[in-house]
Amino acid sequence: MQEAGLEVSRDEAGNLFGRRGAACVWSGSHLDTVPNGGRFDGALGVVVAIEAAGRLRDTELGVVAFRAEETGPMGSRRLAELPDAFVEVHIEQGPVLELLGEPLGIVTGIAGQVRGTVTFEGRAAHAGTTPIDERADALIEAAKFVLHVRESARDGGLATVGALEVVPGATNVVPERVTVSVDVRAPTADGLEKLIEAIGFEPTWRQDPIGMSGPPLEALRAVLPGAPELVSGAGHDAMVLAAAGVPTAMLFVRSLNGGASHSPNELSSAEDIALAVDVLTEALALVEANRLSALPEHERP
């Protein structure tokens, strides 16, 4: 950040800021990742933003490296009061761009997401002495539900069972109780509600769909006409700022290796990353120029 000509500071949340001047237009991403994660998730967006800021040395911009994206995200909540606009570059974390043969994609929104659990009750019994037809096996009912969750998402959205708690959890005991997790995501609020109803469970946590909007989104479209537009199924720092009312946009960089993410197999090519730097640089310059032109003449630098 210092080499890019930015004034560096931190806040009490551990966020790292690089500012030039008033810095009303910001870019960046997060540095934390999951255990055994890759080196592109989050960090790519920080490096690309610094590179773009280094090219725009006559433009007042800000770059941020957020903390705690994977656990909240919490760090990005601190930036919502500072920027007039925010653009985040991030790896796609999925295979769509690779399948399309496209290096970059424009994110139009973040899918809504709900989570909850469903518990199935049975009766514990000895695995070696209880006939099959006499069992009340909670895991069998849970297995049927897992398949039901998968099939319910065939018509749109995504639904996943990722964790099961089996009681008593012994190899020689018929399961008495099984609790399964449910993760449901959809690009629209209506689609989310339909999927919840189709599965038949009560969510205990909810994140509504959030759209990208305003000058940052239009700038990406102007700089990258005809680019694929996607809805992100994963949450991002950009989601927090957009939800707070900050005009926000996201640029996805193609993920290789089948869209591998949250693993050491994460990979984006040097060519795609270089293109992302070019696009972000032009988009940030355009957003800032449009912001200044909208100001009264006496308020312009």
- The pLDDT-based confidence of 298 (bands split at 50, 70, 90) is low
Which CATH code of 1.10.3720.10, 3.40.640.10, 3.30.70.360, 1.20.1250.20 fits the domain covering 112-206? Answer: 3.30.70.360
* pLDDT score at 81: 77
As a whole number of angstroms, the distance between CA 14 and CA 207 comes to 25
* pLDDT score at 62: 96
Q: Determine the average pLDDT of the residues in 194-209.
A: 95
* pLDDT score at 82: 77
CB 4 within 8 A of CB 17: no
pLDDT digits (tens, 9 = 90+) for 106-161: 999 999 999 999 999 999 999 999 999 999 999 999 999 999 999 999 988 999 99
* pLDDT score at 200: 95
pLDDT digits (tens, 9 = 90+) for 157-176: 999 999 999 999 999 999 99
CB 99 within 8 A of CB 257: no
Q: Determine the average pLDDT of the residues in 53-71.
A: 90
CB 185 within 8 A of CB 158: yes
Q: Is the Cα torsion angle 165, 168, 170, 176 positive or negative in sign?
A: negative
Which CATH code of 3.40.1500.10, 3.40.630.10, 3.40.50.10860, 1.10.1740.10 fits the domain covering 7-110+209-299? Answer: 3.40.630.10
- The pLDDT-based confidence of 12 (bands split at 50, 70, 90) is confident
The residue extents of the domains of the chain are 7-110+209-299, 112-206
Kindly state the tokens that stand for 113.
Answer: 């997401």
Q: Do domains 7-110+209-299 and 112-206 have the same CATH topology?
A: no
* pLDDT score at 99: 97
pLDDT > 70? residue 23: yes
* pLDDT score at 13: 83
Q: Is the entire prediction scored with pTM above 0.85?
A: yes
- Tell the residue number behind the tokens 């693993």, with chain if given: 263
As a whole number of angstroms, the distance between CA 26 and CA 60 comes to 9
Question: In the chain, where do the E strands start and end?
Answer: 7-10, 16-19, 25-30, 62-66, 85-91, 104-110, 112-121, 125-126, 158-160, 164-167, 173-174, 177-186, 205-207, 210-211, 229-232, 248-253
* pLDDT score at 212: 95
* pLDDT score at 78: 74
